[in-house]
Homo-oligomer: A and B are copies of this chain.
Amino acid sequence: MKSRITLKKIAREFGVSISTVSKALKDSHEISEETRGKIKAFADYYNYKPNNLALQLRNQKTSVIGVIVPEIVHHFFSTVINGIEKYATEKGYNVMVCLSNESYEKEVSNMGVLTNGSVDGLIVSIARETQQNQNYKHFEAIINDDFPLVLFDRINDDIECDKVIIDDVGGAFKATNHLIEIGSKRIALLTTQDFITVGSLRKNGYIKSLNKNKISVDESLIYKIDDKESLYDQIKKAINVSNPPDAILAVNEIYAAIALKIAKESGLKIPEDIAIIGFTSGLISEYTDPPLTCVEQHGFLMGKQVAELLINRIESTAPSEFQKVVISPNLKIRRSTLDN
């Protein structure tokens, strides 16, 4: 790669000092019309652009936001990133995306790299392994430095920073209420293992709705799916039983789509024999047959919120209280719970 033209090279070309060139390019009145003109023409011709690193170092400001997410091939996360990028660009920031790949170690190393001057602030959704280990030392380190940080979706309440979450309890509550309204009595829950916070929150919403509707919680209807084994086999066990449930609430889209598939294969009619609701993150729910009713998570809005909180934190000088923004999901009713 050819090295780019710098102020120094232009200065040498005209036998002037570097600061003369810098000022000339900034149209400073300190430099004569004539000198300004020739320097600008030359710089233009050689396509001079100030070096970002040098500017960032001098200004102690990168105008870059770091984002660390567990995965990127995931509709919800990529939608959030899209929202972050949109808001960040409007405000003159670039976005640097890193993946933790659900690994504690990668999360730590990514945070280490990004916080050493590369970015002005950080947005993180915590890796599964970190949530499992409950090891948040790497967060404490940057919190102590008052490094701008916003957590979203996969958060931890002990970390003192701005946060944005979906109202998972409310979403599951709404969904369960809807199932009860359409007459379901035995609602199975397909959830994740307990350490996944969103999974357990959604379970709480499910239980809250049952309680409110005076339906006793039947633990045998709650299935904790392990993502490392065959989803298909595990979900089959929830449906192919002697006394199958009359409704299913799945904490994500894939579980719901698989449940739908299995139910159909078992000859069950949807929603007559079994109604199904999932939490959406993608487009699958729209194209299944029947299309799936789902809890919509508003990832784009979430991204904008997250970016807004972070940029405010970066740009404000006065310290202010940390905020926790809760985004209410809404229920998108489709034919998997409603005949038309």
Residue of B at shortest CB range from A254? B283
Interface residues of A in 116-175 (CB under 8 A from B): 116-118, 141, 144-148
Residue of B at shortest CB range from A99? B85
User: Interface 1/0s, chain A 267-297, versus B by CB < 8 A?
Assistant: 0000000000000001110011100000000
Number of copies: 2
Q: Is the CB of B112 within 8 A of A49?
A: yes
Does A215 make an interface contact (CB < 8 A)? no
Does A230 make an interface contact (CB < 8 A)? no
Q: Is the CB of B85 within 8 A of A53?
A: no
Residues in B with CB closer than 8 Å to A50 are 116
Tell me, in angstroms, the Cα distance from A289 to B290 when the chains sit together. Answer: 9
Q: Is the CB of B54 within 8 A of A117?
A: yes
> Which one of A9-17, A22-30, A35-43, A70-78 is at the B interface?
A70-78
Residues in B with CB closer than 8 Å to A260 are 287
Q: How far is the CB of A252 from chain B (nearest CB, A)?
A: 12
Residues in B with CB closer than 8 Å to A257 are 287
Q: Given A1-B145, A257-B287, A288-B288, decide whether A99 and B116 contact each other with a Cβ distance below 8 A.
A: no
Does A221 make an interface contact (CB < 8 A)? no
Does A264 make an interface contact (CB < 8 A)? yes
Q: Given A94-B98, A96-B94, A99-B82, decide whether A53 and B117 contact each other with a Cβ distance below 8 A.
A: yes
Does A328 make an interface contact (CB < 8 A)? no
Residues in B with CB closer than 8 Å to A74 are 78
Does A47 make an interface contact (CB < 8 A)? yes
Does A318 make an interface contact (CB < 8 A)? no
Residue of B at shortest CB range from A313? B1
Tell me, in angstroms, the Cα distance from A114 to B53 when the chains sit together. Answer: 11
Residues in B with CB closer than 8 Å to A79 are 73
Q: Is the CB of A73 within 8 A of B62?
A: no
Residues in B with CB closer than 8 Å to A298 are none
User: Interface 1/0s, chain A 54-70, versus B by CB < 8 A?
Assistant: 10110000101000000
Q: Is the CB of B283 within 8 A of A145?
A: no
Q: Is the CB of A81 within 8 A of B72?
A: yes
Q: How far is the CB of A168 from chain B (nearest CB, A)?
A: 21
A residues neighboring B (CB under 8 Å): 1-2, 4, 47, 49-54, 56-57, 62, 64, 71-75, 78-79, 81-82, 85, 89, 94-99, 106, 110, 112-118, 141, 144-148, 254, 257-258, 260-261, 264, 282-284, 287-289
Apart from A257-B287, A282-B284: 17 A-B pairs, beta carbons within 8 A? A2-B144, A2-B145, A47-B141, A49-B112, A50-B116, A51-B116, A51-B117, A53-B53, A53-B57, A54-B57, A71-B82, A82-B99, A89-B106, A94-B113, A94-B118, A95-B98, A283-B284
